[in-house]
Each structure stands twice: as C-alpha cells, then as structure tokens.
C-alpha cells in the first residue's frame, strides 16, 4: 500500500517540514500537525482491538520493574520480515510504477517527485516504535557540506572551490534502541604502599586489601544501527542523539525522505550491543576502585541481559561526492548537525607546511607521508 499526503487546500504533495515539525504544503503553505493527524487516525482505527492490545502490552513491558532476578534475555517481540515481497507500488499522483528495493519504506516517485510512504512495510508488527524527526533541513545540510569542503588549511584547493554534491539524501536509518541490565561482580587484590624513615632506616610498608564490588546497572536506549549499508563505526560516531525529541512513530514524518527497514533483527545485534555495554560496566567498576597503589583483578563476572529493544528510525544526511575519480560520503546527524569525516588532505600542502617549520626532522616528514599514504578520508 502506498500512502501519499495531499494538501486539503490545493491538492499538492505535502512533506515533513523541519522548521515547523509539521506536514507542509510548499505550494500554499498549509501545515498539518502530525500528532493531531495521528489522534484522528487512531480514532478511525478504534474498532481494531488488536492495535490497542498491542499498545497496552508495549506500555506494560515499558513500565516493567527492572529489578527482577532473572538472567535470561527477554524474547524479541518483533516478527521478522517476510522475504518474498511481490507487491508492486504505484504513485497515487501520476500512476507511475515506483521502483524500490526490498528495504525501502519511504521514497520519492522518480517521475513526479511526490513523497511516497510504503505503509504496508511500516504497519502492524513491522511498525517502528519511535522516530527522531529531521531537525536539519536539506538546505542547511548543503550549506554545512559546502563549509566543510572549505574547512581545513590542508584541504586541496581544487576541492575547496568546486560544487561537488552529486547526491544529497535525507535518510531515516533503522536502529534498535536497547534497554539492558548489567550485573557485575569483581574481586581484586589491591595494595597501598607507604615509605617512611625512622632513624637510619627507610621502611616500605605494603598493605594488602581484598576488594569486592557488586553492581547492578540499567542502561536505557543504547542505539545500534540495523542497516547493512551504513558503516557501523560511522553510525556510532554520529551519536549522541537527543532523546528529548524521540517521538512515537507516525508515517507523515517520513514524507519527503528516504527510509529503510532493518536488515538485522534485535536478536542479531545483541552480541554487538552487549560488547559495548560490557565495556561501560567494566570501566564503571574500575572507576569505583581508587586510591590504591596497585590493583590486581582476581575474578570478574559480568552478566548482561536484554530487557527490551525498540525499533527506531534516526535521521541522517548523506552527501555523495566525487573527488579524484572516487566516490566519497559525507555523513551528518540529521538532528544535531554533527559531521563525521574529514575533507581530503593535500599532500603538497602538508609538505610545504612542514618544511616551513624549522628543526623538524626528515624522519618525521617521512613518517607523516607514510601515514597519509593510505586512505585517510575516514
């Protein structure tokens, strides 16, 4: 099923607007409040008892007490996607066939440009729980990219001047937000060493301590990207997102953007997010063992269990650009404007710059050239 948002004033296509946070018609300026639309929509759906039960169950699990004694992961409440999708989509506007890949949930009609939301890929068990809408508009992202190209003393001149944007995409990337509980137990032997002088003697006194730490920590909404296309490290570096603007998912937020559904289930990503939480718990425990001359960990036991994972769409601006006959990506957090990646560096500029500094050894220059020899864009 295809959902398109038509202006009730003039009939033109409406898209999500980052400034007003509403669905907007760019022809006549009409704005529709998305939450109000959702309330109306829910009223229309109120006969459908399933939906309500699902919502109540979701609310119940959200409010569940986190101090229960079990050590097992909660089973996933999400169904996996059906693989064989033969559904054909046609634009309501112009009737053209909409060409999408299996993962697409929102796109634009390639003939008339109208925003298209593939609603059957976003409802029922396939519905995301939350969305953070775009706060950075397309023109702001373009501006930021241009500025970024000019940034840096070492950026090649030809890179700074040209308009390089090949393609700019506002993409809702599928994420899982994990709620985890971590229990940790650490036994350590620590020492405190004191040196003092009495008479002609210097004494060294070593006191030994048995140190025991037991922690029970809850982590809420650790993000983990569920898209094959997006580089994991890059997505991690786009954090943090502000959850103050974490909205209940509504389809109109996607109008005018590209959205995809997840490639990896929450179960598949669990090991990755557990590794991450493990390092948090480990460093938290270590931060509580202070004031000793030495710390030797004798035993460490960390158990992490998954409490809940929410399917969430997070906004990312993606700019594809050409440089030196290769395609590169510029990635920006669509909520905060945080940019990942550095512009290319001119080796000639570096050499000139380094030669200008006296006393710098040839070896260092060689080393830097060596390190920059590879792909230093990321």
For the CB of residue 27, give the shortest distance to Zn ion in the complex, in Å: 5
Tell me, rounded to whole angstroms, the distance of Cα 191 from its chain centroid.
42
Stretch that binds Zn ion, among 12-20, 53-61, 158-166, 230-238 (CB under 5 A): 12-20
Contacting Zn ion (CB under 5 A), which of 20, 27, 61, 303? 27
For the CB of residue 313, give the shortest distance to Zn ion in the complex, in Å: 23
CA–CA separation, 45 and 47 (whole Å)? 6
Q: Decide the pairing of beta strands 115-118 and 2-3.
A: antiparallel
Contacting Zn ion (CB under 5 A), which of 15, 109, 132, 136? 109
The arrangement of strands across the sheet holding 14-16 comes to 14-16, 23-25, 31-32
Q: Is 1 in the site for Zn ion (CB under 5 A)?
A: no
Stretch that binds Zn ion, among 86-94, 255-263, 322-330, 338-346 (CB under 5 A): 86-94
Contacting Zn ion (CB under 5 A), which of 2, 15, 23, 25? 25
Contact status, residue 261 vs residue 103, Cβ threshold 8 Å? yes
Contact status, residue 134 vs residue 24, Cβ threshold 8 Å? no
Q: Is 30 in the site for Zn ion (CB under 5 A)?
A: yes
Q: Is 93 in the site for Zn ion (CB under 5 A)?
A: yes
Stretch that binds Zn ion, among 18-26, 35-43, 121-129, 201-209 (CB under 5 A): 18-26
Contacting Zn ion (CB under 5 A), which of 2, 15, 23, 91? 91
Q: Is the CB of 7 or the CB of 281 nearer to Zn ion?
A: 7
Which tokens belong to 246? Answer: 């974490």
Contact status, residue 23 vs residue 5, Cβ threshold 8 Å? yes
Residues 6 or more apart whose Cβ sits within 8 Å of residue 326: none
Q: Is the CB of 96 or the CB of 154 nearer to Zn ion?
A: 96
CA–CA separation, 169 and 137 (whole Å)? 11
Tell me, rounded to whole angstroms, the distance of Cα 67 from its chain centroid.
28
For the CB of residue 258, give the shortest distance to Zn ion in the complex, in Å: 15
Give the interface size with Zn ion as a residue count (CB under 5 A). Answer: 16
Backbone phi, psi, residue 319, to 5°:
-115, 125
What residue has token string 């960990």? 297
Stretch that binds Zn ion, among 10-18, 232-240, 323-331, 356-364 (CB under 5 A): 10-18
Contacting Zn ion (CB under 5 A), which of 7, 122, 258, 319? 7
Contacting Zn ion (CB under 5 A), which of 1, 10, 161, 348? 10
Applying the rule CB under 5 A, the residues between 111 and 140 that interact with Zn ion are 111-112, 114
DSSP per position, 17-51: -TTTSSEEETTT--EE-HHHHHHHHHHHTTT-HHH
Which tokens belong to 378? Answer: 């990321």
Contacting Zn ion (CB under 5 A), which of 28, 57, 59, 367? 28
Q: Is the CB of 27 or the CB of 279 nearer to Zn ion?
A: 27
For the CB of residue 283, give the shortest distance to Zn ion in the complex, in Å: 52
For the CB of residue 138, give the shortest distance to Zn ion in the complex, in Å: 19
What residue has token string 């939350």? 130
Stretch that binds Zn ion, among 84-92, 173-181, 276-284, 287-295 (CB under 5 A): 84-92
Which tokens belong to 302? Answer: 């960390």
For the CB of residue 325, give the shortest distance to Zn ion in the complex, in Å: 34
For the CB of residue 320, give the shortest distance to Zn ion in the complex, in Å: 24
Tell me how far CA of residue 308 lies from CA of 72, 228, 278, in angstroms: 12, 22, 17
Q: Is 94 in the site for Zn ion (CB under 5 A)?
A: yes
Burial 143-165 (b: 16+ CB within 10 A, else e): ebbeebbeebebbbeebeeeebb
Interface residues toward Zn ion, by CB under 5 A: 7, 9-10, 12, 25, 27-28, 30, 91, 93-94, 96, 109, 111-112, 114
């Amino acid at each position: 099923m295809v959902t398109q948002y038509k202006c009730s004033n003039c009939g033109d296509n409406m898209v999500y607007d980052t400034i007003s946070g509403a669905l907007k018609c760019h022809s006549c300026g009409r704005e529709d409040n998305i939450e109000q639309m959702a309330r109306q929509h829910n009223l229309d759906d109120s006969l459908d008892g399933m939906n309500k039960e699902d919502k109540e169950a979701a609310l119940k699990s959200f409010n569940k007490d986190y101090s229960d004694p079990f050590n097992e992961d909660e089973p996933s409440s999400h169904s996996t996607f059906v693989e064989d999708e033969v559904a054909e989509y046609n634009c309501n506007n112009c009737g053209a066939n909409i060409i999408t890949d299996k993962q697409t949930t929102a796109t634009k009609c390639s003939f008339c440009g109208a925003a298209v939301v593939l609603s059957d890929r976003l409802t029922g068990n396939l519905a995301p729980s939350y969305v953070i809408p775009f706060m950075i508009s397309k023109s702001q992202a373009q501006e930021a990219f241009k500025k970024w190209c000019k940034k840096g003393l070492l950026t090649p001149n030809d890179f700074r001047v040209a308009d390089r944007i090949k393609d700019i995409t506002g993409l809702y990337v599928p994420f899982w937000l994990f709620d985890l509980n971590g229990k940790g137990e650490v036994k350590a032997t620590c020492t405190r060493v004191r040196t003092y002088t009495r008479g002609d003697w210097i004494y060294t006194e070593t006191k030994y301590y048995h140190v025991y730490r037991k922690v029970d920590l809850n982590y809420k909404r650790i993000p983990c990207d569920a898209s094959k296309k997006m580089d994991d490290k890059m997505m991690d570096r786009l954090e943090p997102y502000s959850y103050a603007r974490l909205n209940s998912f509504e389809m109109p937020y996607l109008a005018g953007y590209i959205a995809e559904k997840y490639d990896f289930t929450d179960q598949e990503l669990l090991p990755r997010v557990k590794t991450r939480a493990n390092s948090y718990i480990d460093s938290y425990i270590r931060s509580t063992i202070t004031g000793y001359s030495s710390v030797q960990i004798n035993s460490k036991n960390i158990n992490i269990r998954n409490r809940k994972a929410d399917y969430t769409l997070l906004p990312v601006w993606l700019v594809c650009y050409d440089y030196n006959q290769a395609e590169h990506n510029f990635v920006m957090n669509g909520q905060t404007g945080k940019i990942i990646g550095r512009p290319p560096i001119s080796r000639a500029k570096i050499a000139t710059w380094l030669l200008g500094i006296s006393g710098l050894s040839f070896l260092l220059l060689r080393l830097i050239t060596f390190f920059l020899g590879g792909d230093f864009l990321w």
